[in-house]
Structure 1
Amino acid sequence: MPEQLWLPGLEAPPPPTDGLFFAVYPDASTAAAIAKFAQQLCAEAGVRSGVRSKPLAANRLHVTLRHLGNFAGGLPANVVEAAKRAAAAVSMAPFTVEFDAVASFAKRPRLGPAVLVGEDGVRGLQSLHDALEARLRDDGIAPGERFTPHVTLAYGMPWSERRAAEPACWNVREFALIHSLLGRTRHIVLARWSLVGQS
């Protein structure tokens, strides 16, 4: 690969400041239970490997349905509007989700995220993602990355084998469009859509 030439007067692009994504959130009691489990997981990792990792707070636990991009200097209005149009066109009935295992997204020997995952219990999320992806494509938004339904519990965790966990279940009745203030651990809900379609 040829070296990238530096040209005088050509500045590096500004770092991204704002993210945009669709998400599903657990109800408050389920989020509290997941957060407690995340705390236990971090404590175990600290004892086992000396790694000090901080679990995500209950109000930040979510499933990212579809990431739409990171941007510098605010969110592009045309992308936000296209996302809202696509979401409004999704018709799907509410469903139950169940995560029943904990896994690692770390690549040994590096640290990485510890996440909740599932098999049959996350099929509804896959269907919602696929329906949303189809509507986004209709609105001219390029396909996203492969979707792996998960809830991130903590970052900076050592790699570990996937193992069973106490199931985390909740009823998914809506999804939301989220503005993430990057580096400031803040999420702003831009809009919500209820699942009211037929099964």
Structure 2
Amino acid sequence: MLSYFIAFSVGALAGIFEIGSRYKDEQIKIAFSYFYAYLYWIINGLLGAFALFLMQSFPEKIPQTDYPVMNAIIAGLGALAILRLNFLNVKNAKGEETGLGLGTLITAALSFINSKIDKDRAADRRKLCDELLKGIQDYSALIQQMIASLDSFQDLSDEDRQTVQDKFTEVRNNSSLTPRIRATSIFYTILNLTGEKHIKGVINAYKSHENGGD
């Protein structure tokens, strides 16, 4: 049972890191804030345990070590690779044998779940944008404030800074955009790079200043 627990834990942890790798901000928060995110890493954990079961059931097809704990770790980390192997041969209507692998189906299912996470996340971010930009009087000044706030980061790459600058140039040169739309575009660009805590602090401080605060 310990080996299965290890395989599940390693698989779940790998799932959490997979979710985090797809988003630039709030990686850990995303993994524990959405139903489909929970579902994603729990399924990854179960796949790890199932992969260990297959390793033990088909030792002739899956290379293993002499150490149960190491096998459990391998199962947790390499579940999809293991599940892509053909463990059973089934005959089709023509009598031809076809290998039965689950990896492709599982990959498609996980991709679907990830798309649901992204949609839920996008809805929350739109709500956050609407709440923070509500009541702003001078969007142009806010844009300058958001861009200037990047100087507070010491480890922000030149590439990320250039991404913001390119977006600013793009929206500035598009005369069809309203000031609100320009601010929204810059908002999402900086949010993607810096996270919610930073952008909330910047905009709330700007609102306070705009309303006559210190």
TM-score band w.r.t. shorter chain: under 0.3
The structure with higher relative contact order (CA 8 Å, sep 6+) is 1
Give the structure with the larger strand fraction: 1
Between Structure 1 and Structure 2, whose CA radius of gyration is higher? 2
Relative to the length of structure 1, the TM-score reads 0.23
Relative to the length of structure 2, the TM-score reads 0.22
Give the structure with the larger helix fraction: 2
